[in-house]
């Protein structure tokens, strides 16, 4: 059995034993299962082996293959309960990012951000359930999302594009709510030079009039195609490139265009335009690109 598998089995058995001792009808069955999970997980969460979640995912997969809906449902409740317990142990801004990642609607995310920035509290969720929101700093939320993005985007292969899109949205929405705009120094990732792949792609975009063709190009790259395709191996098919199609300055194959870094680059270029008081057609073009990229990421994220 996988490392951690014994613990999963033990938790499952204890939950079943608890449920058997309860007198429950069909209407209260779901609540009873969650209550049992809370009770069993609560006293074990600190003792769980490192392989517990991996074993849990594997057993959920097996239950699905076996078409055992009841076992799968119990295992999924265990997983969610464990995640909830672990989340509560995290700093407030990380808890908020977890909540935002599970909030598909933009308006709801913005409302959540407003509430945590105002001090948190207990609020009614979309399903009518009560949600405890911690107080959190918008700048901490944006920076944490950015750190996670940087880690994901620096890998040769993006492990989860949906999560990546969600983190980009969270970073951008938290920054936007801080109210400082593009020139806000808190939004500066500290780039001394603009990334080659993103600049190269942006050069292609600004040469095309805003519209459907441009939107399709952006969407393709945000999906991890074309200039955004993962470098599966060093000897891949990606042609060597550089700024505006010229040879690479470093002589190395540029890494793929990544959503978070791309929007960072667009913002940086826009900031340069605004600070130079020379905004005009180019600024409007880049603002359109920025806006459309966020719309595309919203589609891809949920």
Instruction: Identify the DSSP state of 208.
Output: S
Query: Residue 167 has which token pair?
Result: 């983190």
How would you write the pLDDT of the chain (302 residues) with one tens digit per residue? 455 678 888 888 888 888 777 766 666 777 788 888 888 888 777 777 767 877 888 888 898 899 998 888 888 888 888 877 776 777 889 889 988 998 999 999 999 999 999 998 877 766 666 777 889 999 999 999 999 999 999 988 888 899 999 999 999 999 999 876 555 555 555 556 788 999 999 999 999 999 999 999 999 999 999 999 997 654 444 444 444 444 444 455 668 999 999 999 999 998 888 877 666 788 899 999 999 999 999 999 99
Bridge partner residues of 130 (DSSP): 124
Alpha-carbon span 178 to 257, nearest angstrom: 27
Global pTM exceeds 0.75 = no
Residues 6 or more apart whose CB falls under 8 angstroms from that of 122 comprise 130, 131, 132, 133
| CB neighbour list of residue 80: distance below 8 Å, 6 or more residues apart | none
- CB of 270 closer than 8 Å to CB of 183: no
| Helix pair angle (69-88, 52-65), 10° resolution | 160
Per-domain residue ranges of the chain: 5-88, 92-140, 161-301
């Amino acid at each position: 059995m996988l490392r951690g598998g014994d613990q999963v089995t033990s938790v499952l058995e204890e939950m079943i034993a608890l449920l058997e001792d309860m007198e429950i009808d069909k209407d209260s069955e779901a609540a009873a299962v969650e209550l049992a999970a809370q009770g069993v997980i609560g006293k074990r969460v600190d003792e769980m082996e490192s392989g517990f979640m991996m074993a849990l995912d594997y057993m959920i997969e097996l239950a699905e293959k076996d078409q055992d809906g009841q076992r799968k449902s119990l295992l999924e409740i265990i997983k969610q309960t464990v995640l909830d317990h672990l989340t509560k142990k995290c700093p407030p801004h990380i808890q908020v990012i977890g909540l935002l990642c599970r909030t598909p609607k933009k308006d709801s995310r913005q409302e959540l951000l407003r509430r945590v920035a105002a001090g948190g509290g207990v609020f009614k969720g979309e399903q009518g359930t009560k949600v405890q929101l911690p107080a959190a700093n918008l700048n901490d939320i944006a920076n944490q999302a950015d750190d996670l993005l940087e880690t994901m985007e620096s890998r040769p292969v993006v492990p989860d594009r949906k999560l990546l899109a969600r983190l980009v949205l969270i970073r951008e929405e938290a920054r936007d709510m801080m109210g400082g705009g593009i020139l806000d120094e808190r939004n500066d990732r500290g780039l001394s030079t603009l990334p080659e792949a993103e600049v190269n792609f942006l050069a292609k975009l600004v040469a095309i009039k805003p519209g459907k063709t441009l939107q399709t190009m952006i969407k393709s790259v945000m999906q991890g195609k074309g200039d955004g395709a993962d470098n599966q191996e060093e000897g891949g098919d990606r042609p060597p490139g550089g700024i505006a199609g010229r040879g690479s300055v470093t002589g190395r194959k540029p890494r793929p265009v990544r959503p978070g870094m791309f929007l960072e680059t667009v913002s940086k270029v826009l900031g340069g335009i605004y600070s130079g008081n020379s905004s005009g057609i180019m600024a409007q073009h880049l603002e359109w690109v920025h806006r459309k990229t966020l719309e595309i990421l919203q589609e891809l994220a949920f």
